[in-house]
Structure 1
Amino acid sequence: MRAYLFALVPAVAFLPGPAAAQSRVDATELDSVVVTATRSPDDALLVPAAIDLVDADEIDRAQPRIDLSESLQRVPGVVARDRQNQAQDLQVSIRGYGARAAFGVRGVRLYTDGIPATMPDGQGQVSHFPLESAGRIEVLRGPFSALYGNASGGVIELFTADAPPVPTLGAGFVAGANGLRKSSLSFHTPWGAEDGRSGTQGDLLLDLIDIDSDGYRDHSGSHRTSGQALLRGTFGDGGRYTLLFNGLDLTADDPQGLTAAQVRDNRRAASDGALTFDTRKTVRQDQFGARVEHTLSAGHEIAVTAWAGNRATTQMLSVPVAVQRDNPLHNGGAIDLDRDYHGIDGRWRWSTELAGGPFALTAGFDYEVSDEHRLGFENFTGNDVGVVGALRRDERNRVTANDVYLQAEWAPAERWRLHVGVRRSEVEFESDDRFVTAINPDDSGALEYARTSPVAGVLFRATPWLSLYANAGAGFETPTFSELAYRSDGQGGLNDTLAPARSRNQEIGVRARHGGWAYSAALFHSRTTDELVVAANEGGRSVYDNAGTTRRRGAEFAVDGALAPRWHLAAAYTFLDARYRDDFVVCGSPPCNQDDVVIEAGRHIPGLARNTAWAELRWRPVEHTDVMLQGRFVDRVFADDANSEAAPAYASFDLAAERRFRTAGLEWRGFARVNNLFDRDVVGSVIVNAGGGRYFEPAPGRHWMVGLDATKAF
């Protein structure tokens, strides 16, 4: 990312600005780095943290650009699993944080063009990420992610590409197995002064994407339409602005998880409950963001970003009828959730010299609010199931995050860089119960969590192409409103027994770029107190609890470079040992008056693989043509805290080819790919602690995709 989203600053919401994107690598001026990484791979040599950049070529090359799981495989420490279930979004984790999520993304901060895709309670979504026009994806792993607030694992941010030099109209189509059909339309254009030196100038990007799929499994069809409009420009002397609008419309069936026996019997099946209750979800989201940056004087810069949006979700669950009838306090099996959210982030940066070396100080604030109206209904009427019935829940919920932060960067000598920062986070939850009857008491309540998160890092540039670094920091992760929504005792109201997870993290690493090759390696250790865990997961409802202490330690390696003039290799490997360090007790099958299942110390944290690896060998037989063989290995993944069941380890390979050509006055890009080339049986993801042993979400066997894009420059 560019100059106004600092890798050590939690300021989250600043889009890239051309004038701000200068890399300063000499001894007299500090480089400006941004939220997760920097604007070029070479700039990563100047940041004391584990950062990665996935550029537009890597996002586009022979890919359908459906979701982030395609691109993030090449980043060590990151797992993005396509669950073959659009109703539940991707399963994203970084260094083992986030794998507990039954839906959406937890433990990882998400941004698109500087606008948060994570709510103030830590719940995130990636379904609206505009991959069709992505210029790059940047990823920050490790301790410095603490500076972004309510998360533990890391930060993922997508940036829209710059417009081409001339107005360009684009269209594309992808078709594939299981009824996949994707259509896209775009218009990207620059505007204003042509010389880029006087007057105002900027770019406008409009994108519309429509994706339809029958789904690999029974009852897993989906339809998703998304669009984005981005306007960037300059004003006055050193001013820049960005206006962003994006929208999402999603309808998806939910096949739910399968037991191991069901997977062996029919990998494509949906659960009985999914078919009986027609489990499904609809999502409508609209979001607007604006950012203004300005240089006040020599050494002083400010940036302000504001955003607002609405996300409306309806979902049909498979909660048995008898469970709702027998418990008058039950919240029902159908959900209607309407969320309005907004926020503002402001930052001031001062650059000067300290003891003969460049010094920069950044201070800022971040204020975010999410207001939601949550309704719960029975999922039956008389003998009809899978329909919206009587009202069982009516709540107004509000979560507010007030954060302030401070960061200092100093280069005391030519080869050394020091970075320190601190963020104070206060997150408040308020619930107003409006469904009060003679047998259903008022369950209103409020909770507040606060934490100060310091981080520090040091980097030594041993040579112009080799950097060594070390860092440490404290992390903080609150429960989300969805995680607070259900109690293990079956009573209503917030789950006020949940405490926030608090972590201490250390990391050492090395990065190098030399002779056409890029290398990186990192060793990390994290210790978390009150880890948030899934106590039980049944009928689309997850009940959460706190574990004692957990430990994550591991190693990450990545390499990228040219083997020969026409051959290119990229590879990534992650070792992760994630375990519970203390015995703890949870409610195994809610409702429980007291916890009754003991999880012994030493068990592996479920949802995580001990070893993962990915590699790509690319061959360019002729100009504008690429042929790729990609392979991945995923170790077994335990599905429950007791480590009694696991998805088996697997290795799979994909074969793809892309051709770029010009004809009829158009620029064309065509691709074809066969995934899971050898038709291996793969469980793509697991649902941690799912009820009835329905842990497993199978992935497709051998399947194909073809696509063709065309652009016309005017």
Structure 2
Amino acid sequence: MAQSTAPTAREGGFLPPVVITGTAPDRQRWLAPVSMDIVEDEEIRAGQLQVNLSESLGRVPGLVILNRQNYAQDLQVSIRGFGARSTFGVRGVRLFVDGIPASAPDGQGQAANYPLGSAQRIEIIRGPYAALYGSSAGGVIALYSNEGNLPGSLRAGVAGGADGLRRVSTQAEGSMGSLNYALDASDFATDGLRPQSAASRDSGYFKLSRPYDDGRVVAIINRQIGSAQDPLGLSRAEFSANPYQATPTAKTFNTRKSFDQTQVGLAWEHRLGGGHRFEFMTYGGQRAVTQYQAIPATTQVAATSPGGVIDLDRSYGGVNARWRLDRQFDNGLLTGRLTASAGIASDRQDERRRGFENFTGPAANPSALGIQGRLRRDENNSATTVDPYAQLEWESTDWTATAGVRRSSVRFTSTDNYIAAGNPNDSGSSEYSGTMPVLGLRYRLSDAMQVYASTGMGFETPTLNEVAYQASGATGLNSQLAASRSRSSEVGLRGRHVGLAWTATAFDIRTDNEIVVLSNTGGRSTFQNAGRSLRQGLELSAEAQWGTVNVTSALTLMDATYSDSFRTCTVSPCAAPTLVIPAGNRIPGIPARQLFVQLAWEPKTVPGVFTMEVRHVGPIAVNDANSDEAGAYTVVNLGARFQQTFGPWQLKEFVRIDNLTNRVYAGSVIVNEGNGRYFEAAAGRSAFVGVELVRRFD
């Protein structure tokens, strides 16, 4: 059930970036003045492919998470409109796995990092309190994996279906003496929905923990390698003619991406007595990416062009140290619970970014396309953050009051190693800083109903990718690009009754210096600051049990518009923006409405669970000019899952049919794509099956 709660320090996860209290999940959902949803392990895995976050998070209000059917560009993710401008990866939304950031210090992240096969829960934070996770945190998606303890278990599963999709995975959990372990390994591949969209990914996740009398130590290692072709988006004409084609340019340049990532982490928690606790987390990793883009050879002959092949080698790491106090008072005059925390987090990424031509021979008549040619870019970039923070909470039977503040300082530096005629030294640096205070209040109206409200300020820096190009399209930090700042408020009601739990939240977000696209052409974007923007909306979620039927629903209504007019470019390079974007235009990438309804029927006479999902998404503007949009759609998905037990063995099977009516629609859009190739087709009617064998060791 998706309900409101707050970040906690429960068993099963690493040190969370923010702690409000350490109470149990059900109690905390009810008492905290924060908008947050929890999706549990059964909802994540049962009857699901366990490949993409979008499979199980559609039930979360305020969250847009769309499958691009393009594994070279990741999912399209935004929370209350934050992150909607991203054309690839995830930005504006902070990602965590067991407390370790899956987002870089500059705010860019990858949703593919999540080990869904061993997930214990996924927590999604919306609203003002997300800012306490750092800059560029318009929302937070945090996965916590299984801890591993007795009794142990071993799981092995396979799944497959439409478009040649296949997934093989195994999970092992248990204890060896005082050590708990959890292992998750998976292999995924697909032929792709469209030509030039095949992908493969191998993942491994190992977690080792050792509890002791006054605390515990946890170590994690995560390894992932993969490759994916990129079919690019389709123009309106191409989409209308055949939504399941790839634009010819994708095949001409063999657009594709490969990556290799390894990450390790260590956390330590120790109780000091008197309700005091010390917590420490550190992590580090390496990520290498090579990507071939569809940039015409003649475009790359400009002296300042960085070419059409990206070669990125990044190392990253960070620490988070925190003191916590958790104390209960019951002296007649003062009855309640006081929790406090203070700490400092610091993260750093260092990368070597090179660019090569994606052709050989003369640009006017290349001898080959889609292969690595001459070096055109070579620079060393870094991003560092230093964030002190503090929180205080008082909780009694009727009231919860919380206050927190985080100060974020972000610094980007770039050292240019490629200097040639017409391409000067573009070395430079940019600094951003902001203070993010938040306040929250919860009041018990009755045993069955709570009202809550929170307000705060957010701070979003551009990513290194967004400052990597100047207005002209040349490489070099865009020092004119400022951070955006937002003021966010929400008020909500939540209730629980026999067989029913529900939440209703209204929010208002006002942003200054909104970061928007200046130009986007040839796979390269430049950015600028517009004026103000406004996001207002209503989120409703409910879960009801009627006999053998469980109903889960979520509705989001959102009005996201630019409050001030601004100018943007229609071509690149752009000497001066000429296209006026009027005030009142919709912010692209954000649907005005979303609805999710799931019926799960578990009949007493048949050993199985049968589900029907209805998902509706409203129209989505494709660009700031609102010149086109992806149309609204409604799809129906059916599923069934079964389980048999044979002593210590369990056999689980599932079958599902997505898009039962074979609706043809654009499942996502590439926002402000300069060539007008905005549209990414969703899959038609698709069938999938899976089986899992479980052995428990009691």
User: What interval of TM-score do these two structures reach, taking the shorter chain for normalisation?
Assistant: over 0.9
Task: Report the equivalent of 1:619.
Answer: 601
8 Å contact kept, 2:521–2:572: no
Q: Which residue of 1 aligns with 2:364?
A: none
Q: Is the 8 A contact 1:15 1:114 kept in 2?
A: no
- 450, 453, 469: which one aligns with 2:452: 469
- 1:344 aligns to what? 319
Contact 2:12 2:120 in 1 (8 A): no
Residues 399-408 or 456-465, more deviating: 456-465
Distance 2:327 2:173 in 1: 39
Out of 11, 15, 39, the position equivalent to 1:16 is 11
Matched residue type, 1:374: R
CA contact (8 A) 2:598 2:612 kept: yes
In structure 2, what residue type is equivalent to 1:443?
D
1:361 Cα offset (Å)? 1.9
Counterpart pick for 2:582 among 588, 592, 600:
600
- Give the whole-Å Cα distance in 2 for the aligned partners of 1:286 and 1:503: 34
529-538 vs 275-284, which deviates more? Answer: 529-538
Change (3 A) 1:691 1:33: same
Question: Counterpart in 2 of 1:591?
Answer: 573
Q: Which structure 2 residues correspond to residues 564-713 of structure 1 after superposition, within 5 A?
A: 564=547, 566-622=548-604, 624-663=607-646, 666-713=649-696
Determine the structure 2 residue equivalent to 1:209.
Answer: 186
Deviation at 1:15, TM superposition (A): 7.4
Distance of aligned partners of 1:176 and 1:50 in 2 relative to their CA distance in 1, 3 Å threshold: same
Matching of residue 114 in structure 1 with residue 99 in structure 2: yes
Task: Summarize the Cα distance change of 1:624–1:118 in structure 2 as closer, same or farther, 3 Å threshold.
Answer: farther
- Check if 1:378 corresponds to 2:357: yes
Instruction: Give how far 1:664 is off.
Output: 8.0
User: 2:126 aligns to what?
Assistant: 141
Structure 2 runs not aligned, ≥5 long: 362-366
Q: Tell me the secondary structure at the aligned position of residue 237 of structure 2.
A: helix
2:374 pairs with one of 390, 394, 410: 390
Find the residue that maps to 2:130 and give its secondary structure.
helix
Matched letter for residue 510 of structure 1: L
Q: Which amino acid aligns with 2:437?
A: P
Number of aligned positions between the proteins: 681
2:410 corresponds in structure 1 to 427
SS in 2 for 1:693: coil
**Partner in structure 2 of residue 60 of structure 1:** 45
**Residue 178 (1) aligns with residue 153 (2):** no
Structure 1 residue 262 corresponds to structure 2 residue 245: no
Task: Give yes or no for contact 2:7–2:20 (8 Å, CA) kept in 1.
Answer: no
Q: What is aligned with 2:202?
A: 225
Identity rate, percent: 43
Alpha-carbon distance change, 465 to 33 in structure 1, aligned in 2, over 3 angstroms: farther
Query: In the alignment, what sits opposite 1:298?
Result: 274
CA contact (8 A) 1:531 1:548 kept: yes
Does the CA contact (< 8 Å) of 2:215 and 2:269 recur in 1?
yes
- 1:407-486 matches, within 5 Å, as 407-411=391-395, 413-486=396-469
Q: What does 1:323-362 correspond to in 2, within 5 Å? A: 323-325=299-301, 327-352=302-327, 356=334, 357-362=336-341
- Conservation of the 8 A alpha-carbon contact between 1:8 and 1:407: no
1:240 aligns with 2:216: yes
**AA of the residue aligned to 1:77:** G
Distance, in Å, in 2 between the alignment partners of 1:218 and 1:309 is: 33
The one-letter code sitting in structure 2 at the alignment partner of 1:610 is A
The CA deviation string for residues 602-631 of structure 1, in whole angstroms up to 9 with x for no partner, is 000001110110000111124651000100
Relative to structure 1, the CA distance from residue 528 to residue 62 in structure 2 (aligned partners, 3 Å threshold; closer, same or farther) is same
Structure-2 separation of matches of 1:439 and 1:20 = 49
Q: CA deviation at 1:17?
A: 5.6
Give the aligned residue type for 2:203: S
CA–CA separation in structure 2 for the residues paired with 1:109 and 1:32:
18
Q: Deviations over 1:109-168 (max 9, x none)?
A: 110111100111111111120001111111110011111111242111011123363232
Structure 1 CA distance for aligned equivalents of residues 69 and 311 of structure 2: 23
Kindly report the root-mean-square deviation, in angstroms, between the aligned alpha carbons of the 2 structures: 1.9
Residue of structure 2 in register with 1:49 after alignment: 34
Tell me if structure 1 keeps the 8 A contact 2:518–2:528: yes
d(CA) in 2 for partners of 1:165 and 1:353? 31
Q: Which residue of 2 aligns with 1:539?
A: 522
Matched, 1:554 2:537: yes
Query: What TM-score, normalized by structure 1, do the two folds share?
Result: 0.93
- SS of 2:300's equivalent? helix
Deviations, residues 570-593 of structure 1 (Å, cap 9, x unaligned): 000000000000011122211112
Distance 2:222 2:68 in 1: 24
CA deviations on 1:395-430 (whole Å, 9 max, x unpaired) are: 00010000000111113x531111001100000000
Paired position in structure 2 for 1:73: 58
Letter in structure 1 aligned against 2:686: H
Q: 1:445/1:135 Cα in 2 relative to 1: closer, same or farther (>3 Å)?
A: same
Q: Give the C-alpha shift of residue 253 in structure 1.
A: 0.1
Alpha-carbon distance in 2 for matches of 1:86, 1:221: 8
Q: Which residue of 2 aligns with 1:284?
A: 260
Q: Which amino acid aligns with 1:225?
A: D
Q: Which moved more, 1:687-696 or 1:356-365?
A: 356-365
Cα shift at 1:545 = 1.6
Q: Can you give the 5+ residue segments of structure 1 that lack an aligned partner in the other structure?
A: 1-5, 22-30, 193-200
